[in-house]
Amino acid sequence: MSDRILVIGSGAREHTIGATLLAGRSVDEVFCAPGNPGMVLDGIRLADLNPADPAAVVDFVHRNTIDWVFVGPEQPLIDGLVDQLTAAGIPAFGPTKAAARIEGSKDFAKALMRRHGIPTAAYATFDNLESARQHVRAHGAPIVIKADGLAAGKGVTVALSLDQALEALEQIFVDRRFGQAGARVVIEEYMSGQECSLMCFVSGDRVWPMPLAQDHKPAHDGDKGPNTGGMGAYSPLPQFGPDLAATALETIVRPTVRAMVEEGTPFTGILYAGLMVTDQGPKVVEFNARMGDPETEVVLPLLTSDLAAGIRTLMDGGEPNFTWCQDRSEICVVLAADGYPGYPEKGARVPLIGPGKDLQAYYAGVAGSVQDGLTASSGRTAVVRAGAPDLRMAQERIYTLLDGLDTTGLFYRHDIGHKALETT
């Protein structure tokens, strides 16, 4: 078997997926659509096509004798690209449009969890300002306000005061800050605890977990500043014992995928459970229908088996064997353009790093070329990762590298991994 694979997406997550696929013996060639110019460092080929146009994807697959497609980001999944590829006879790894609603609609996900007793914050859904206001006044703060639908991770307000909660409602219903995504709002009970991400390969009711990871969403050190798409991550999580993943699998992931099978929308692909580790055990913050970004950049480097072979076996209904390095720690730090997440500035030089076993950059929002240099073209430009025997060493390795680079016009957090080091 020597697969030619098309990865849909353009970020550091897809760079990592592509590089990991290529590291396996069963893979001949990986194309990424549309990809980014930093990916060629790892031998990924760029496919110049619009992934939002299913006919263009099908055409590319046929012209380039692609064996199967890995759909990375949520938007094409939610738009039904997997359904369209399947209808065209092309094997595609990722959930159907119906199953991707677990990410695309918070209301769908919450209702599924309620029906099946899956631990998550209590919630209510509203489609008008007045009843939402009444609910918030009756419950008081802290309380969490979420715009239904996709709002690029920016539709959530953790309101610590009643005023803040009311203001968030006003922004959603009156200012229409999240457009159509804000036509409905989910209001949730506030959960306190440490967050972590559990990603699993899923095929129907069968589940293969990956190591736990932890993201850092606020823009600045000490978890200060606005929320972002993620500023860094690490895996595994030494502050939690093996029981946490086992409990989350038994109480959350398995019941969820069984529920989706029972309800006629079986899930195949990567299910991402965003968890809050509360005093009562892990509870769901959110589900995603894809790999996490930047969690992927620390989890996939721990994979010791052939990724493509595993996914192929899973898609064919077989029993894949995904194996993970047990004595290594991975960390990654996002290099963001100044101004991110508000109005990132374009044009800063983005350093070229790696590929290497212990240090490497996965690229995201970059323009230019590897020969002439890469420049920032959007908020998250590159995700730099380091691996070492433990987290402290990985942290030292990555910050020794980053602090020695010229990062003019870019910024990064200096404390990725701090929760693990504070609690162990």
Q: How far is CA 237 from CA 4, 214, 231, 244, 330, in A?
A: 34, 7, 17, 10, 10
Least distance from ligand AMP to the Cβ atom of residue 55, Å: 32
**Binding-site partner at residue 188 among ligand AMP, ligand GLY, none, CB < 5 to 8 Å by type:** ligand AMP
From candidates 9, 37, 230, 255, binder to ligand GLY by CB under 6 A: 230
Query: CB neighbours (10 Å) of residue 86?
Result: 14
b/e map 21-44, b = 16+ CB within 10 Å:
bbbbebbebbbbbebbbbbbbbeb
Please give the residues from 183 up to 222 whose contact with ligand AMP meets the rule CB under 6 A.
188-191, 195, 217
Cβ proximity of 186 and 178 under 8 Å: no
**Binding-site partner at residue 158 among ligand AMP, ligand GLY, none, CB < 5 to 8 Å by type:** ligand AMP
Reference 16, options 307, 317, 343, 339; nearest CA is: 307
67 or 297: whose CB is closer to ligand GLY?
297
From candidates 91, 153, 351, 368, binder to ligand AMP by CB under 6 A: 153
Least distance from ligand AMP to the Cβ atom of residue 41, Å: 31
* Residue 211 touching ligand GLY (CB under 6 A): no
Q: Which residue is nearest to ligand GLY (CB)?
A: 292
Please give the residues from 393 up to 422 whose contact with ligand AMP meets the rule CB under 6 A.
none
| Per-residue mark of binding to ligand AMP, 155-184 (x: CB under 6 A) | -x-x--------------------------
How is 197-256 classified by DSSP, letter by letter?
EEEEEEETTEEEEPPPBEE--EEEGGGEEEE-S-SEEEES-TTS-HHHHHHHIIIIIHHH
b/e map 392-413, b = 16+ CB within 10 Å:
bbbbebbbebbeeeebebbbbb
Q: Of the ranges 33-41, 137-145, 169-177, 288-296, which one interacts with ligand GLY (CB under 6 A)?
A: 288-296
Least distance from ligand AMP to the Cβ atom of residue 237, Å: 15
Least distance from ligand AMP to the Cβ atom of residue 146, Å: 6
Q: What angle do CA 341, 344, 345 make, to 5 degrees?
A: 165
Distance (Å, whole) CA 77 – CA 176: 25
Q: Which residues pair with 209 in a beta bridge?
A: 200
From candidates 293, 297, 306, 415, binder to ligand GLY by CB under 6 A: 293
Least distance from ligand AMP to the Cβ atom of residue 102, Å: 12
* Residue 341 touching ligand GLY (CB under 6 A): no
123 or 340: whose CB is closer to ligand AMP?
123
* Residue 288 touching ligand GLY (CB under 6 A): yes
Distance (Å, whole) CA 382 – CA 360: 10
- Chain residues binding ligand AMP by CB under 6 A are 121, 144, 146, 153, 156, 158, 188-191, 195, 217, 274, 285-286
- Chain residues binding ligand GLY by CB under 6 A are 215, 230, 288, 292-293, 295
